[in-house]
């Protein structure tokens, strides 16, 4: 009778929890395992099941790389005080590790990765090429001349180039993006679980809300420097909070990229204060969430309010991606 009942539950899509044996007979898993089924249902104990109505099919990852400028717009050194290429290399390595784990968990998810390089020396560019040698990752060289009539004249070439590379990333996302688009800067180190958690959380929370959202993988310290109200949400394997500001590393859908295209273009026309002014305006109308605790760490100066996420073993994460 018990076996028959389990078969009936499976047939109708119900899950059974045996709290005595700490298993789910219908899923044939222990309760401390991942009980969710990608693109079908998200299960978090003891909150039960969320049916996935917003399925994720593809994700386009665009990495913005500049291996020459130490810290843009600042005369400060980053944590560990290494040459910028070291951060770019470790950032890409950590991203590849995260992609590989996500792909092993979700083999039907199509992941495309592009690297937009801004004027790297051949020596540095060859180091990046060596890392991605056996991977299907394309490197695109930024041509800043194409943006001379689209971006206002800036005080420094570095600022102009930064705006041009950001705009080019947005254009790539709009041109070849299909489902989710993830914009990443090259001074972030990512935990191996980063992409898996973001994809699974995106489909869970987006399904609950009935709409697409924005996601930031980093838990920035500046988010705790004022008395800002927030909502706490349950993701795939951790808590998430609503935020109203991000930097230029975030994930969203192609639909929202198209819907707010003028905001993205306007953000790249000039150097604003804050730099992400017109991106942040979008979050007044749309949900944006970041993880608690962080899935990625922005490796800037240790005193930067836009940098190191709290409660992270920075040295351990740095050494893991050597």
**For 55-87, what is each residue's pLDDT tens digit?**
999 999 999 999 987 776 666 889 999 999 999
235 CB-contact burial (10 Å; exposed 0-12 / middle 13-18 / buried 19+):
buried
Q: How far apart are CA 265 and CA 278, in angstroms?
A: 9
122 CB-contact burial (10 Å; exposed 0-12 / middle 13-18 / buried 19+):
exposed
Q: 43 in helix, strand or coil? A: strand
Q: 246 in helix, strand or coil? A: coil
The distance from CA 317 to its chain's CA centroid, rounded to whole angstroms, is: 17
H-helix or E-strand spanning residue 193: none
Domain boundaries, the chain: 2-51, 58-320
Token couple for 141: 């060289």
Q: What is residue 25's predicted lDDT score, i.e. its pLDDT? A: 81
DSSP assignment of 77-132 equals: PPTT---HHHHHHHHHHHHHHHHHHHHHH-TTSEEEEEEEE-S--HHHHHHHHHHT
198 has pLDDT over 80: yes
pLDDT digits over 235-264, tens only?
A: 999 999 999 999 999 999 999 999 999 999
pLDDT digits over 145-158, tens only?
A: 999 999 999 999 99
CATH match of 58-320 with 3.40.50.300: no
Provide the whole-model pTM: 0.94
Share of the chain above pLDDT 70, in %: 95
pLDDT digits over 86-133, tens only?
A: 999 999 999 999 999 999 999 999 999 999 999 899 999 999 999 999
């Amino acid at each position: 009778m018990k076996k028959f009942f389990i078969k009936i539950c499976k047939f109708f899509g119900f899950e059974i929890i045996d709290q005595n044996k700490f298993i789910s007979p219908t899923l044939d898993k222990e309760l401390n395992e991942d009980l969710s089924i990608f693109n079908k249902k998200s299960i978090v104990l003891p909150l039960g099941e969320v049916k996935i109505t917003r399925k994720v099919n593809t994700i386009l990852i665009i990495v913005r790389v500049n291996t020459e400028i130490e810290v843009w717009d600042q005369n400060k050194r980053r944590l560990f005080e290494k040459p910028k290429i070291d951060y770019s290399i470790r950032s890409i390595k950590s991203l590849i590790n995260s992609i590989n784990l996500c792909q092993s968990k979700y083999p039907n998810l199509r992941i495309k990765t592009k690297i937009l390089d801004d004027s790297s020396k051949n020596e540095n560019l060859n180091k990046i090429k060596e890392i991605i040698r056996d991977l299907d990752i394309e490197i695109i060289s930024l041509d800043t001349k194409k943006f001379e009539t689209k971006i206002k004249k800036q005080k420094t070439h570095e600022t102009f180039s930064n705006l041009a590379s950001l705009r080019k990333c947005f254009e790539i996302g709009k041109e070849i993006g299909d489902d989710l688009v993830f914009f990443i800067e090259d001074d972030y180190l990512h935990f191996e679980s980063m992409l898996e958690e973001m994809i699974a959380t995106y489909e869970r929370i987006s399904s609950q809300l009935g709409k697409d959202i924005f996601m930031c993988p980093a838990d920035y310290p500046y988010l705790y420097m004022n008395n800002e109200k927030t909502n706490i949400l349950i993701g795939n394997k951790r808590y998430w909070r609503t935020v109203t500001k991000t930097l230029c590393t975030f994930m969203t859908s192609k639909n929202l990229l198209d819907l707010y295209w003028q905001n993205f273009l306007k953000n790249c026309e000039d150097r604003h204060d804050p730099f992400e002014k017109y991106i942040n305006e979008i979050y007044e109308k749309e949900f944006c969430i970041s993880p608690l605790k962080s899935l990625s760490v922005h490796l800037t100066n240790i005193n930067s309010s836009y940098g190191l996420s709290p409660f992270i073993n920075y040295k351990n994460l740095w050494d893991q991606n050597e």
